[in-house]
Amino acid sequence: MSEFLEPFERMLEDVATPAAVRAIEHGGRIDAMWGAFAESGFLDALVPEDRGGAGLPLAEVHPLWMALGRHAVPLPVGETMIARALLTGLPEGPIALAVAAGAAVVVPCGRVAAHVLVEAEGALHLVEASGVSTGVPASLAARFDVGAPGTPVASAPEGGLRGIAAILRAALIAGAAGRLTEMTATYANERVQFGKPIGRQQALQQQMAVMAEEMVAARIASQLGCAGGFPPSLAAAATAKSVASKAAARVAATAHAMHGAIGISEEHDLQLFTRRLHEWRLADGSETYWNRLLGAARLDDAGRSVDFVREAL
């Protein structure tokens, strides 16, 4: 696994610095950062070998997706990996993902995507990115009207595009949650109040322990979602996204509670990650959406719960 993760991490440390992330969020050009990903070959990680890709299983791509979250990468890199795995002959440039659930949908990284791969009525459509800002400051998400996406380019994958997007969001959440936990622990050991680091206060230690538990839960759930084939099963996608989305809210809240007012300031890096946690939590269905699907699948199974978990997950 480190064979792919280590060079990927080195690239991210070079191109996805907090300053570079902020620049893109405020309207800067994406050419340099996107060019690094395009030249690296990682965008074809999921593409089968007979089509010229690396042919990696989801389990080996999962750490790469977590690294994207850990560095708050402001581009749809994981989405483009998925699109390239599903379709051939795609145009160059970043591709976002969307499931047409109504007249308008909010698409993460829609502002910096060249195209959007849309699932509608059981088919995939590739449309030019022409969304409008959601109005959230510094957010790269865009609102798209995908009511009539045009001629299909392929059939939707088994289980739909939303399930694949869900495991990507879960991995991104797990990566960002890990980064936030590290940042918060470091700050708690450095911030001195009443003559000692605040991390020595029992009440704050308890909050940190719960934060770490949620971070690990998100990581394990996202690993589980990527442990099977491509595309993932409904149960795997639902488990990964529901657990990760729940963890996202708790981790973000604890990080801000520990940092205090400095954490919400623009110059502090904390908000780069907490904003994304909330965005990814809602993207492609929150924990409530996926819990309902997972519950319905369990009720449709006549066996015991332990057998359902073993077989479905």
**Among 76, 64, 81, 138, residue whose Cα is nearest residue 113:** 76
What is the spatial distance between Cα 69 and Cα 252, in angstroms, rounded to a whole number? 14
Could you say which DSSP state residue 194 is in? T
Q: What share of the chain is helix, strand, coil (3-state, %, to 5)?
A: 60, 10, 30
Give me the mean pLDDT over the 200-207 stretch: 90
Tell me the residue ranges of DSSP E strands in the chain. Answer: 95-99, 105-107, 115-120, 123-128, 132-133, 142-144, 154-155, 192-193, 196-197
Decide: residue 225, CB within 10 A, 0-12 exposed, 13-18 middle, 19+ buried: buried
Summarize pLDDT for 125-155 with one digit per residue, the tens: 999 988 788 888 899 999 988 766 778 999 9
Place of tokens 């991104």: 172
Residue pLDDT, tens place only, 1-53: 558 999 999 999 999 999 999 999 999 999 999 999 999 999 999 999 999 99
- The string of pLDDT tens digits covering residues 232-268 is 999 999 999 999 999 999 999 999 999 998 888 989 9
Q: Pick the closest to residue 140 from 183, 199, 77, 190 (CA basis).
A: 77
- Nearest one of 224, 217, 117 to 173, comparing CA atoms: 217
Buried b (16+ CB within 10 A) or exposed e, 20-50: bbbbbbeebebeebbeebbeeebbbbbbeee
| Domains recognised in the chain with CATH numbers | 2-155 (no CATH), 161-312 (1.20.140.10)
pLDDT value for 174: 98
Q: How far, in Å, are 151, 187, 188, 194, 198 from residue 191 at the CA level? A: 57, 6, 5, 10, 6
Q: Are 234 and 313 in contact (CB under 8 A)?
A: no
Judging by beta carbons within 10 Å of its beta carbon (0-12, 13-18, 19+), is residue 282 exposed, middle or buried?
Answer: middle
Name the pTM for this structure. Answer: 0.95
